[in-house]
Amino acid sequence: MFRPKALGGAVTALATVAAGVGVAVAVGAGPAVAAGTGTGYLHTVGNQIQDSTGATVRLTGINWFGMETDNKTFHGLWSSNPWRGQLDTMARLGYNTLRVPFSNDALKPGATATGINDFVNPDLVGLSPLQILDKVIDYAGSKGMRIILDRHRPTSAGQSALWYTPTVSEATWINDWKMLAQRYAGNTTVIGADLHNEPHAEGTNPAATGACWGCGDTARDWRLAAERAGNAILGVQPNWLIFVEGVSCPSGGLSNVWDNDPSNDEDCGWWGGNLSKAGQYPVRLNVANRLVYSPHEYATSVYRQTWFDAPDYPANMPAIWDKYWGYLYKQNIAPIMMGEFGSTLADPKDRVWLENLMAYTGTGVTGMSFTYWSWNPNSGDTGGIALDDWTNVNTTKQAILQPYLIAPTGGGTTPPTGGPTDPPSGACTATYRQVNAWQGGFQGELTVTNTGSAAANPWSVSWAWPSGVTLGSGWNATVSQSGTTVTAAAPSHAPSLPAGGSVTVGFTANGTASAPATVKLNGTGC
């Protein structure tokens, strides 16, 4: 991110989830629903993403930037929170995917990672940026998370309107992508390539010099460049998803506002956020079912677009999203994965924007995928989910996102050996808090305390719901449902619930708001 923005506008209506209004988004359920991020490599079917078994997957992720900057590695490695601890928190909160921005500088032989706290992260000392990335990928994969690699900048100096610059050629861009595809071939944690971050307009029409969509100029047409790079990657790694962002102005240039001729003033959007021409000029890949469109969307803390001050705001926003990118999903053309969206939430309008945007993406596994910007608190115009200590969390932002997060599960870790250690009979207590409710669903937190004299290792909490209430998503545990029974199993990174310890299992559910009944810890009633 880090960009000025262009303008645009449109009209329609949608209230927030909290107001109890459903989302007018057409969704098609897959043949099955995958827990977390599913199994094996992913592919697309219409507007859905599916795993290797054909189960539907929703990517609900977050950006962790830094590898695109002068540090050439993840920011926050200078903090007192170890890098694994930060990934633990992301997974616990429900982020099942990590989008990793990088620059081509970080991939060069001899590239050096800086800004690392050697005392907190001794295992990273002396490693190259790519070797640190390897470790993050391996650990994230052990937690069931997926990785999307994002070519954010050609160099660490800044973003570029086009995918190449005088010092970083198109050939370098494509060859580096092929190198990454080969490096992670066979590693199903790494699922795809976000080809170039935020292509955008430059120059004033008719002398445009920026990225266009569908103009046919091979030096500027981002759609054609995405095809060249996407097909080169798929030639090396045919299992990857190819994430293609939009432009800002389809012409690739800014309108001349001084010519007093409104007829040629183009309707533009955010950098990377305008996919209005993708229906007419689709990206064509040589391997079917690999294309995901990935727009960016921001609020007033980044730039005060005209639509934020429209008299019918926020009712005008869904039509704007429809026009720029939502139609691709609604018309079942391709999946949407919002690669970036965020705000400081300093302006009350921004909170309304975020609530409406999340409602627009839809609830449950068939909703649009996304990766929030960002984990990092040092994003100047958005802030982050992490606070300045890189440990604690912005609870206001997290509460808005939480109902839409589908926690990672699995990941191939070896479960603890032996059976569960049951606490003595009656040695647990349970309390329930309803966090939110909306038309057709609700969010809750169930806290279970082990009041016995022995640890429950591994722990497992179960409860019953009335018929018709179904699980949407869960976090802080591997949550699943069979019939009317819901089971929350201990995550692999925190299998033990000590005597006197508590665990809070969060969830969203579909149906009438209902408190968990017959709560049990490892089979013993609370």
DSSP state at residue 171: H
Classify residue 458 as exposed, middle or buried by CB count within 10 Å of its CB (0-12, 13-18, 19+): buried
In DSSP notation, 53-105 reads TSEEE--EEEE---BTSTT-S-TTTTSSS-HHHHHHHHHHHT--EEEEEEEGG
Annotated active-site residue 68? The verdict is no
Q: Which of 374, 160, 351, 147 is nearest to 272 (CA)?
A: 160
245 contact partners, CB below 8 Å, separation of at least 6? 194, 195, 196, 197, 198, 199, 272, 273, 293, 294, 295, 296, 339
Do residues 194 and 205 make contact, with C-beta atoms less than 8 angstroms apart?
no
Q: Which of 245, 266, 297, 340 is catalytic?
A: 340
Give me the helix-helix angle, 83-93 and 129-142, nearest 10°: 40
DSSP3 helix / strand / coil % (the chain, rounded to 5): 20, 25, 55
- Ramachandran category for residue 290: left, alpha or beta (phi over 0 → left; psi -120 to 50 → alpha): alpha
Tokens 């490892």 belong to which residue? Answer: 522
Q: Which of 198, 227, 245, 266 is catalytic?
A: 198
Annotated active-site residue 227? The verdict is no
Do residues 275 and 321 make contact, with C-beta atoms less than 8 angstroms apart?
no
Residues in the chain: 526
| 3-class SS of residue 218 | coil
Structure token pair of residue 152: 């954010």
- Separation between Cα atoms, residue 23 and residue 15, nearest integer Å: 9
Which positions are annotated as active-site residues? Answer: 198, 340
